[in-house]
Amino acid sequence: MTALSRIDALIGQMTLAEKLGQLTMTAAGYAVTGPIIAGDSTAAIREGTIGNLLNMVGAEHVHEVQRIAVEESRLGIPLLIGYDVVHGHRTVFPVPIAEAGIFDRQVWEQTARAAAAEAAADGLAMTFAPMLDIARDPRWGRGVEGPGEDPYVGAQFAAAKVRGFQGGQLAAADALAACAKHFCAYGAVTAGRDYAAVDVSVRCLREVYLPPFAAAVAAGVAAVMPAFTDIAGVPMTANRELLAGWLRGRLGFEGVIVTDYNAIAELVRHGVAADLAQAAALALQAGVDIDMMADAYRRGLPVALERGLVSITQIDTAVRRVLTLKSRLGLFTDPYRRGATPESAAAIAAHRLLARQVAARSLVLLTNRNEALPLAADIHDIAVVGPLADSSIDMRGPWWGAAAEVGHVTVLSGLRDALPGARLVHAAGVAVAEPALGGIAAAVAACERAQAVVLCLGESAAMSGEAASRSELGLPGAQRQLAEAVLAWAHSRGVPVIVVLFCGRPLVLPWLFEAADAVLGAWFPGSEAGHAIADILLGQVSPGARLATTWPRALGQVPLFFSQRPGGRPEDPQDHYTSRYMDVANTPQFPFGHGLSYGRFRLDNLRITPARATADDRILVQVDVQNDGARPAEETVFLFVHDRVASVARPILELKGFTKLQLAPGERGTATLALAASALRFVGQDLELVFEPGEVEVLVGSCADAALLLRASLILE
């Protein structure tokens, strides 16, 4: 029997309750990601009225519930079991906003592949990742989960993560069904406040928020999750225009749409449904297949059928999509395939090594005055100070998968491993978010004999992620008082202070960037955090990461991003009536793409071939790069464009490519970026893509500071 005929036969045998069970996903109770905790669902699985689970981890547990579904239910339909494997499972990799800053598609795919292997060994078949929300407001806590501010980066990240999670064959024992989330514009919530309303233009949707999802669909993503939020008053869970129209119609997505936690029931709170039956009908009509944790389909769709709000044909269509995904995952053929063989010790060790390498590559050297880093090779006395210097649990960051609370390498332990003969003195000084100042004096005293101070500051892991919006972006608690005391002591004695800054978002800290000798942006580096940080501090690895998001110098600049339009009165310091602040510069603390290294790079000789192109041409952009520094290092080269005159005003800079070069001291290389001329199309006045003849400025450099970019002209014909 073919997969299609088996699915048709099953649908023909199902009762309404069994059909709705296939459209229902409930939590197993091991973790909670929302306001509802599910009870024991074993009986419902046996009855065939629950067909999907989330938050169950461990092959033994998974196989047992799978056995109940396959061997004890009437129709023997296997369960689909998913989990939030966002940046690792048992081994935790850097948070996505950090990993995005590596600007390496192969790395993005590798970490997803490793995470998928670990999660599949735990019996899982689905991950609620990648998160593809473009985020331009650092007050919003969920920016930590995604690829940053730029839609081109988001699209590249999306394709790499889908390839990594799903592998070459979705039915393979180490493959997970990826679920692209949160469709779409969740990152544009009002005032950066999680779950708040969204109101953006259709142009903004098509230019900024939809491209990463289009890339995920093109890469074959198995599932998509709509956002909790509404767009211009229409909640995404019931947004027929975007789900059925754009996602399924325009993009041709044929996979499963699964809601976020309790989202269908929340349509009543949104004010677009009077009761659960109407809410369920709206979601089904929009194209939603699986109801996660609202129990709206099981309870509401029978009533909606009686009212004539939905048809049994619509229900069957959703059931068919769910069963098709289960078939593609190989669950009908062998429901126990995932988790049948535990990961080997060698595989686990390989994942930890990868985690260390990727973590080191994700650390952004934000400032480095007078080459304070790397630390001297003969250093033997270091004070490791601050509330995040020895906090294993915080190294994981938010959404840590199934990782334990312990076993993640801290800065203190990483430096101890790297410098076994050195004297390392540790003092927390203050707690992350508490106002108490009592430990500051002891922390300063701990620095007394130090040749250097490593000051570990920032947010705890719980301060980023879902439901973690912040209205202030400074250091929480009494950390500023600690930092100022340590800095004052160190400056009085000429001792360098190296700040290691942990955060899930840019923090507004102009005073710290001015005072510290060096600031290493660590984000949340994962299981191997301390080893990776030690590798950078001691010069074993040259920092190479760049910011995937613009870093503001003042909260009032937010939202701040590099691809803004010029406006009719662009900033002019000599003209009062131009677009500028009275009290702060328009420029960010650090632009998109900023990041220092232990090399010193010079770019020149920009050339474009051909200089005139039609829509069908492929353009080659090349620039020479030389490392004039004393150490080998990696440089990232970005390709931007600016259409000077178009039917719609174009952004000052649009990212169209990036590449990397590793160069030895004195070595010269060529960065080559290929650009399809068709990629220079843009959303025209009719909101459709258009290719317009004319002059396009091509800009190349190491960050989105327009003053530092090399420029050339390209003529489109």
- The enclosing domain of 494 has a CATH number of 3.40.50.1700
Same structural domain, 482 and 625 = no
- Give kind and range of the element (H or E) at residue 216: helix 211-218
Residue range 634-660: mean pLDDT, rounded: 97
Task: Point out the catalytic residue in the list 260, 394, 535, 643.
Answer: 260
Residue 246 lies in a domain: no
The string over 598-607, giving b where at least 16 C-beta atoms fall within 10 Å of a residue's C-beta and e elsewhere, is bbebebeebe
Burial status of residue 583 (CB atoms within 10 A of its CB: 0-12, 13-18, 19 or more): exposed
CA gyration radius, the chain:
26
- CA–CA separation, 468 vs 478, rounded Å? 19
- CA–CA separation, 633 vs 667, rounded Å? 10
What are 124's two structure tokens?
A: 């899982």
Residue 55 lies in a domain: no
Residue 394 lies in a domain: yes
Spatial CB neighbours of 348, under 8 Å, sequence gap ≥ 6: 90, 91
pLDDT, residue 30, reads: 45
% of the chain at pLDDT higher than 90 = 96
The mean pLDDT value of the chain amounts to 96
pLDDT one-digit tens code per residue, 351-370 = 999 999 999 999 999 999 99
- CA–CA separation, 324 vs 317, rounded Å? 11
Half-sphere exposure of residue 176, counting CA atoms within 13 Å on the CB side? 34
What are 651's two structure tokens?
A: 């952004």
- CA–CA separation, 335 vs 272, rounded Å? 39
Residue 674 lies in a domain: yes
3-state secondary structure of 367: strand
Same structural domain, 671 and 542 = no
pLDDT, residue 41, reads: 77
Domain boundary among 505, 527, 557: 557
One-letter identity of residue 116: A
Residue 457 lies in a domain: yes
Please tell me the total count of domains within the chain. 2
Residue range 238-253: mean pLDDT, rounded: 98
pLDDT, residue 33, reads: 42
pLDDT at 1 over 80: no
For the entire predicted model, the pTM comes to: 0.97
Domain boundary among 557, 584, 616: 557
What's phi and psi for 494, nearest 5 deg?
Answer: 70, 25
Domain boundary among 537, 557, 577: 557
Q: How far is CA 364 from CA 102, 221, 400, 651, in A?
A: 9, 30, 21, 26
Same structural domain, 414 and 518 = yes
Q: How far is CA 138 from CA 134, 184, 513, 551, in A?
A: 11, 18, 18, 9
Same structural domain, 613 and 541 = no
pLDDT, residue 114, reads: 98
pLDDT at 143 over 60: yes
- Confirm whether 230 is a catalytic residue: no
Note whether 39 and 58 are within 8 A (CB).
Answer: no
CATH number at residue 681: 2.60.40.10
Residue range 566-592: mean pLDDT, rounded: 94
pLDDT at 38 over 70: no
- CA–CA separation, 309 vs 275, rounded Å? 13
29: confidence class by pLDDT, cuts 50, 70, 90: low
Spatial CB neighbours of 56, under 8 Å, sequence gap ≥ 6: 28, 30, 62, 65, 81, 83, 123
pLDDT, residue 35, reads: 35
Same structural domain, 532 and 623 = no
Note whether 90 and 401 are within 8 A (CB).
Answer: yes
Note whether 67 and 74 are within 8 A (CB).
Answer: no
Note whether 537 and 372 are within 8 A (CB).
Answer: no
Q: How far is CA 656 from CA 205, 641, 697, 698, in A?
A: 18, 7, 12, 10
Same structural domain, 517 and 440 = yes
pLDDT, residue 111, reads: 98
Residue range 553-575: mean pLDDT, rounded: 95
pLDDT at 515 over 50: yes
CA-based nearest residue to 516, from 459, 475, 473, 546: 475
3-state secondary structure of 281: helix
Same structural domain, 523 and 402 = yes
pLDDT, residue 32, reads: 39
pLDDT one-digit tens code per residue, 77-130 = 999 999 999 999 999 999 999 999 999 999 999 999 999 999 999 999 999 999
- Structural domain containing residue 424: 359-557
pLDDT at 371 over 90: yes
343: confidence class by pLDDT, cuts 50, 70, 90: very high
5: confidence class by pLDDT, cuts 50, 70, 90: confident
Angle between helix 296-307 and 276-286 (nearest 10): 90
pLDDT at 670 over 80: yes
Q: How far is CA 76 from CA 47, 68, 585, in A?
A: 10, 8, 65
Same structural domain, 535 and 614 = no
Burial status of residue 196 (CB atoms within 10 A of its CB: 0-12, 13-18, 19 or more): middle
One-letter identity of residue 567: G
- CA–CA separation, 141 vs 398, rounded Å? 10
pLDDT one-digit tens code per residue, 306-341 = 999 999 999 999 999 999 999 999 999 999 999 999
Half-sphere exposure of residue 485, counting CA atoms within 13 Å on the CB side? 21
Residue 406 lies in a domain: yes
Same structural domain, 610 and 549 = no
Residue range 232-258: mean pLDDT, rounded: 98
pLDDT, residue 4, reads: 82
Same structural domain, 367 and 488 = yes
- Give kind and range of the element (H or E) at residue 114: helix 105-121
Residue 182 lies in a domain: no
Burial status of residue 662 (CB atoms within 10 A of its CB: 0-12, 13-18, 19 or more): middle
Same structural domain, 551 and 641 = no
Residue 322 lies in a domain: no
Same structural domain, 427 and 522 = yes
